[in-house]
Amino acid sequence: MPKEEREKKLERLVGGGVTEEEYVLGLSLRPKALAEFIGQKDSLTSLSIAIEAAKKRKEALEHILLSGPPGLGKTSLAHCIAKELSARIIATSGPAIERAGDLIGILTNLDKGDILFIDEIHRISKVVEEFLYPAMENFQIDFVIDKGPFAKTVKFNLKPFTLIGATTREGMLSEPLRSRFGIFLRFDFYTQDEICEVIRRSAKILGIEIEPAAVVEIACRGRGTPRLANRLLRRVRDYSQVKGDGKITAINVKKALSFLKIDEKGLDEFDRRYLKVLIEFYQGGPSGIEAIAANMGESADTLMDVVEPYLMKLGFIKRSLRGRVALKPAYEHLGLKYKEPV
């Protein structure tokens, strides 16, 4: 599915897509250094050690793979790493690198110590991926000149650089590509306390007056995801300015998110529809993701990347060899009578 079409389908309030407005606002809310980065403490500790060691040796940092659901801060962390290393960062995405020539052009323009950040790295083509292997391993690229009996391979030496790849689907990476990364950081959903800290920081930057109880109310619905918590904060701010005196209170949060049809678990109509299709149409499962996607008129990728991770975290569904299965808490949340899966 083309990236533009995919992003269009993700324009839910609690979806994983990023609107142009959010991208601009995200730049101001994005942490500028590792010390400002909230959450993922275990990963940050090991990363800080690797950065300091690389700086002492005056070498390029090892290649890093960041994996986890959308909105947890993979792109932000890549920029923080560049800041810590005082390095230039060149950002692109897997679908944007359509031909090997595109990648060669990027690699040959990298200076020593530069960082190449590739978002959605699992979506690069196999042809492009082949060019990454020698570039990552030996800082060289091989390309062929001429054709037929006159063809010859030319090696081009690159300046040492660090590749940071981000993916929401680590399982889709080929083993040869995965094995060439030296540092693996897996992002998990944030705790409620961490989301509260994110909201307080964002509110301070945006100049929003917010009650402590309101922070907790938003965090409960933030799905353990900083991007979504910030999105809800802005929507509640709009509601408070129009319907109240501008100050965000717990009452305003409940009214605003009720108006937006986001429940106390952070689920919206799309999430509830997924659960209802699984429970009512497929009798709670097991059901294949393609069947659910077809019933909902959505892509399977959208459901797997954006909807299912949080539902699994809540214990509402599980993935089995036979397909998706709805669990008892999902029935209880929807007010339905639980029925044991066949």
Active site residues: 74-75, 119, 168, 227
Identify the burial level of 208 via C-beta atoms within 10 angstroms of its C-beta, where 0-12 means exposed, 13-18 middle and 19 or more buried. buried
Q: Give the strand pairing for 140-145 and 317-320.
A: unpaired
Rounded Cα gap, residues 72 and 65, in angstroms: 14
Sequence letter at residue 226: P
257 backbone dihedrals φ, ψ, rounded to 5°: -75, -25
Assess contact for 269 and 261: CB atoms under 8 A: yes
Rounded Cα gap, residues 122 and 93, in angstroms: 10
Q: Mark residue 212 as left, alpha or beta (left: phi above 0; alpha: psi -120 to 50; beta: remaining).
A: alpha
Rounded Cα gap, residues 17 and 36, in angstroms: 24
Rounded Cα gap, residues 113 and 81, in angstroms: 12
Rounded Cα gap, residues 292 and 303, in angstroms: 9
Assess contact for 249 and 240: CB atoms under 8 A: yes
What is the DSSP-derived secondary structure letter of residue 113? T
Rounded Cα gap, residues 208 and 10, in angstroms: 27
314 backbone dihedrals φ, ψ, rounded to 5°: -75, -10
Residues 6+ away with beta carbon under 8 Å from 40: 72, 73, 77, 185, 187, 188
Three-state secondary-structure class, residue 39: coil
